[in-house]
Amino acid sequence: MGKRQISKIILLETILMGIISLAIGLIVGIFASQFMSILVSKMFEADMSEFQFVFSSAACIKTCIYFAVMYILVMFFNTITISRYKLIDLINANKKNEKIKFKNSFLAILVFIVSISILSYAYWKVTKGATTMKTENEILPPILMGIIATIGIFWSLSGFILTIIKKIKQVYLKDTNMFVLRQINSKINTTVISMSVICLMLFLTISILSTSLGLKNTMQREMIEMTPVDINLEKIANLPDSYIDSKGNTHTYYKNVVEDSKIPISETLKNNGLDINVLKDVVETPIYEIEDLTIAKFLEPNFKEINEKFPFLLYKTKEKIMKISDYNKIAKLYGIEEYNVNDNEYIMVCDFDNMINIRNKVLSNRNKLEIAGKEYISKYTECKRGFIQINSSHTNTGILLVPDNCNLTEEMKEKYFLAANYNANTEEEKQNIEEIFIDDSSLIKSLNDNCIEIDGMSKISLIESSKGLTTIITFISIYLGIIFLIASSAILALKQLTESADNKQRYIILRKIGCDEKMINRALFRQIGIFFMLPLLLATIHSIFGIQFALQILSGIAKSQDLLPSIIATAITIGTIYGAYFLTTYMGSKNIIKEE
């Protein structure tokens, strides 16, 4: 046979295997995607009544095109590779020893130490040093350092591990360790880039799955915590007759709007024809603001330090103030902790973690504030947890609770706030009441016609919106995580199976020098185990710090206490898929090298 005939054979083999794998992959993928849709929908308790089987012809065509492009490239490079060999070289390929290039041990150790140092700095930068990052461009250097350090570690491993273990004679000369170590050394030496890429893909798998599942757990828990009632409504109080915008133009409010701003929300609803009996457990309170009492004023004792660390905080925002009895009415309705204060004390209520940490720097010294002409001292040396607005997560950046006898005047009222439940017993009845507040043809439209705006949030709308964008992000994250995991496992498996076929002659030699099948199988198991574990081990270390960084980025959404179940789920997923590939590879390799 000439080179042309051999190339034709390999070309036909490649095309045939491509067609078979593409056909099976498409069939499995079509049904697996439906299962994935159902799984994620169940995770987010989405309505599955309208679910139907969906086949995307566009996605199928794109898959075939991309697959074909990859296979054409493979066939092209295979043809080039074969054309460089003589037939006699192919016949005797299994009899030739691989030329192993040993790296300089001193250089390898030096590269290893430098790589570990770079990696340690990158870890610190994305965890302890993350608070100093002010733009997204500052995130890129630690990522690049992590990639370079990962390549450096795998490059250096093959240079000194064998050298070090060779000096430990009782380990190196025991059983088949000499053979296993040389095999591992050879593999790492020739697959530095691929091992590094697999390690990074596994890191992404662990980080993406753990973070996205943790995000889902946090959302579900906080949704329950943060929606203790069916609806919140709020309306601006004490509108002026007119106001001047940033361009110096004067705008005049309608008279009826100015008059309406001076009455509570419940009266506005009655005046616009709403039967207030559709609501129950109604609690309505005013919220106050004072012109010169801003976040900057509150943080004044530590303002310089905090401003340098958090330059983008909206320091000119006015602090929200509530009387203690008004807050306790809402707290009682919500089933959260109620508080009390003495005549000269105040309490800062906050549940947004980042803001809690900032405010606690000031409260640790029992900060004093002047409120409505009187000085008050903080009752506690830290923020107390609490909120008044329902939401999908903890977003209350701070409410000052003051004694009832605080001299808060009508002019200081910033808004009216109402919390209530729907007067209904079934979900259908609640949905009917919901439509009164959200349907354009009902109450809100009639209010808008009168230029009266009442803002609000309902439990139903919050639950529905939480299943939107975040669900899509989590859905994609789970897909990417599993795809990276399967790709990494498959690459390792194929590489190891190929190595087993190439090294079959070496195992025959082991049998000839007296190794029994048990020893050979044990050597093969250890060899494949180390090959699979090395990238996973480093990826796991990467992910410990990567997840911490992700939690800082998602500090207002994901919480560390929800990570344990997601980490366990991720470990089970990786253990199942990665472990299945490992065992399949071991069984396949054992069949390849067994004596015929």
DSSP states of 83-104:
HTS-HHHHHTGGGSPP---PPP
pLDDT attached to residue 24: 93
Q: Is residue 204 within 8 Å of residue 481, measured between CB atoms? A: yes
Q: Which pLDDT value is given to residue 174?
A: 77
Which range of 25-39, 126-140, 321-335 scores highest in mean pLDDT? It is 321-335
Q: Is the CB of residue 547 less than 8 Å from the CB of residue 556?
A: no
pLDDT band, very low/low/confident/very high, at 566 (cuts 50, 70, 90):
confident
Rounded CA separation 147/161 (Å) = 21
pLDDT reported for residue 99: 55
Query: Considering only CA atoms, which of 341, 417, 402, 331 is closest in space to residue 371?
Result: 402
Task: Look at the block and give the residue holding tokens 């309406």.
Answer: 260
Half-sphere exposure of residue 430, counting CA atoms within 13 Å on the CB side?
14
**What pairs with residue 402 in β-bridges?**
323
Give the separation between CA 251 and CA 236, rounded to whole angstroms: 17
> pLDDT value at position 296?
93
> How many CB atoms within 10 Å of residue 198?
25
> Which residue has better confidence, 291 or 14?
291
For every residue of 345-371, which 3-state class applies, written as one string?
EEEEECCCHHHHHHHHHHHCCCCEEEE
pLDDT tier at 517 (50, 70, 90 boundaries)? Answer: confident
More confident residue, 432 or 174: 432
Higher pLDDT, 448 or 176: 176
Q: What pLDDT, on a 0 to 100 scale, did the predictor assign at position 441? A: 43
Return the ∠ at Cα 464 (arms to 461 and 469), rounded to 5°: 120
Mean pLDDT, range 159-164, rounded to an integer: 70
Largest distance between two CA atoms of the chain: 103
Residue in 346, 341, 388, 338 with CA at minimum distance from that of residue 363: 346
Does residue 363 carry a pLDDT above 80? yes
| Helix axis angle, 427-438 to 459-466, nearest 10° | 90
What's the CA gap between 79 and 72, in Å, rounded? 11
For residue 267, count other CB atoms closer than 10 A to its CB.
Answer: 14
Of 69-73, 202-206, 210-214, 410-414, the poorest mean pLDDT is in: 210-214
Strand runs (DSSP E) across 199-256, as ranges?
Answer: 231-236, 242-244, 250-252
Quick check: helix, strand or coil at residue 458? Answer: strand
Provide the whole-model pTM.
0.71
**Predicted local confidence at residue 442, as pLDDT:** 45
Q: Is the pLDDT of residue 560 over 70?
A: no
Give the pLDDT confidence score for residue 218 in this predicted structure: 78
What pLDDT sits at residue 131?
58
427-485 tens-digit pLDDT: 888 888 888 876 544 455 556 556 677 888 889 888 887 776 667 777 778 888 888 89
Residues in a beta bridge with 250 = 244
Minimum mean pLDDT among 194-198, 264-268, 499-503: which range? 499-503
Compute the Cα dihedral for 252, 254, 260, 265 and give only its sign: negative
Mean pLDDT computed over 210-234: 85
Please determine, for residue 271, whether its predicted confidence score (pLDDT) is greater than 60: yes
Q: List pLDDT tens digits, range 118-155.
A: 999 989 888 876 656 656 677 888 889 999 999 999 88
Q: How far apart are CA 462 and CA 457, in angstroms?
A: 7
Q: What gap in Å lies between CA 327 and CA 406, rounded to an integer?
A: 14
Q: Is the predicted pLDDT of residue 173 greater than 70, yes or no? A: yes
| Pairwise CA distance, residues 284 & 216, whole Å | 33
Whether the Cβ atoms of residue 232 and residue 457 lie closer than 8 Å to each other = yes
Phi/psi of residue 244, nearest 5 degrees:
-110, 125
Q: What is the pLDDT of residues 42-95, one digit of tens each?
A: 665 656 566 677 788 888 899 999 998 988 887 788 777 777 777 676 666 655
State what percent of residues in the chain have pLDDT above 70: 87
pLDDT score at 35? 79
Q: Is the pLDDT of residue 335 over 70?
A: yes
Of the candidate ranges 79-88, 233-242, 499-508, 522-531, the one whose mean pLDDT is the lowest: 79-88
The domain locations on the chain are 1-96, 254-450
H or E stretch at 507: helix 504-512
Residues 403-408, mean pLDDT to the nearest whole number: 93
Q: What is the pLDDT of residue 106?
A: 79
What region, left, alpha or beta, does residue 221 occupy, with left being phi > 0 and alpha being psi -120 to 50 degrees?
Answer: alpha
Q: Of 123-137, 184-198, 351-365, which one has max mean pLDDT?
A: 351-365
Spatial distance between the Cα atoms of 40 and 474, rounded to a whole number of angstroms? 8
pLDDT over 90, % of the chain: 32
Indicate the range of 360-369, 405-414, 523-532 predicted with least confidence: 523-532
Residue 320 CA neighbour count, 13 Å, CB half: 18
Residue 347 in this model has a pLDDT that exceeds 60: yes
Residue 268 CB: number of other CB atoms within 10 A? 20
Cα dihedral 505, 510, 513, 515 in deg (nearest 10): -150
CA 179 to chain centre: 42
Give the contacts of 495 (CB within 8 A, at least 6 positions apart): 187, 191, 194, 531
